Amino acid sequence: MAHDESAMRNRVEAVADWGEAVGKSVERAILGKPQVIEKMLVALLCRGHVLLEDVPGVGKTVLANALARSIGGAFSRIQSTPDLLPTDITGVSVYNPKDGTFGFKQGPVHANVVLVDEINRATPRTQSALLEAMAEDQVTVDGETMTLPDPFFLIATENPIEFEGTYPLPEAQKDRFFLSLSLGYPDVETELAIIESQRRSTHPVTDVRAVADSAAILRYQEAIHQIFVQEEVRRYIVGLIAATRRDDAFRLGVSPRGSLALFRGSQALAALRRRDYVLPDDVKELFVPVCEKRVIVHPDQVYRGVSARSALDRLLDMAEVPPMDGTQGAGFRSAAVDSADAAAAGSAAVPRDTDNADTEDAEG
């Protein structure tokens, strides 16, 4: 049991070291946004995708590029327009007149980190081409299914101030995004640092070098599933999600896919912060980013100035937080590592969470 506990701690430390290294690397190009970068890494560890809703010019493309460079992955960018076709994203079979055969030419979606800029400017037909990629890490062209690179991480952006010539994302597609984030404007000191850092002919993102490899990311994506989540915390997650379905402010509440995202995201955030157990604070920090684009506010509430974020914040304030104390962590760790041995020894440790493995089958 001691060996298993030590191995678990080593895995958590490895995940945290990786997150710290990648975060510092990305911060060479994106200044003053460590919390956003951390949440991007949470989504990456959970094999999820991110929707960035923000105004132009705040660094969304640079963020995606820096992240791809830091993890040693291929980066591609798709600029969405109304005339963009699905094959412009997935790829197309091209006829070769020399030998009379068709050869497949890969589209930009075949990369480790893909930025889809202004996704709501693409038509619904083109938007739908991304659904299979986001849900199954594969694309189908001319009846042939091709697996996308692993890891595969998609970042889509929306402009919140321009709606002319746009096609709103359907709820089914919004639900496919693991997190919804916003970079926001930098503060004064950070903007001064940005100006100073770019007194050069090239952008600082060109200095970003790989500090990890894809094989390591795949190991860490598996490791976070072992992060222990106490039953009270699991009930706290489900209670928050259930509250969105019965609250009068919402016409549509969060789906079970959202509760899975909050559960897994909390595990990843705990690991990045060098813990092998989840605290309610992890859940609280991710509740709004996970749920904001998964709910629909009643029109009459919108008229009164209620936003999805403010309504979710209200639910968060109303929810009863499970009592936790600093002495429980060791119990969580021992239970998470090997509850079977603990039971055999007659220990009163909290049973290990056996529902984690079943969550994979519950999604979709």
Query: What's the pLDDT at 325?
Result: 57
Residue partners of 182: CB distance under 8 A and separation at least 6: 36, 52, 53, 54
Provide the whole-model pTM.
0.85
The answer to which of 69-73, 257-261, 264-268 has the lowest mean pLDDT is 69-73
209 phi/psi in degrees, rounded to 5: -120, 160
Helix axes 214-223, 2-26, angle to 10 degrees: 130
Residue partners of 288: CB distance under 8 A and separation at least 6: 309, 312, 313, 316
How many beta carbons lie within 10 A of that of residue 183, not counting itself? 20
Query: What's the pLDDT at 73?
Result: 87
Contact of 221 with 271, CB cutoff 8 Å = no
Q: Is the pLDDT assigned to residue 352 strictly greater than 70?
A: no
- Dump pLDDT digits (tens) for 149-197: 999 999 999 888 877 778 888 888 888 999 999 998 999 999 999 999 8
- Dump pLDDT digits (tens) for 111-157: 999 999 999 999 998 998 888 899 889 998 888 889 999 999 999 99
Q: What is the mean pLDDT of residues 283-308?
A: 94
Sheet-wide strand order for 75-79: 75-79, 113-117, 153-158, 50-53, 179-181
Q: Is the pLDDT assigned to residue 331 strictly greater than 70?
A: no
Residue ranges and CATH numbers for the domains of the chain are: 29-222 (3.40.50.300), 227-364 (1.10.8.80)
Instruction: Give dist(CA 336, CA 340) in Å, integer.
Output: 10
CA atoms within 13 A on the CB side of 350: 17
Structure tokens at 231: 């039953």
Q: Is the pLDDT assigned to residue 360 strictly greater than 60?
A: no
Residue 1 pLDDT level (bands cut at 50, 70, 90): low
Pairing type for strands 179-181 and 250-252 reads unpaired
Query: What's the pLDDT at 254?
Result: 95
- Dump pLDDT digits (tens) for 208-252: 999 988 888 999 999 999 999 999 999 999 999 999 999 999 999
Q: What percent of the chain has pLDDT over 90?
A: 63
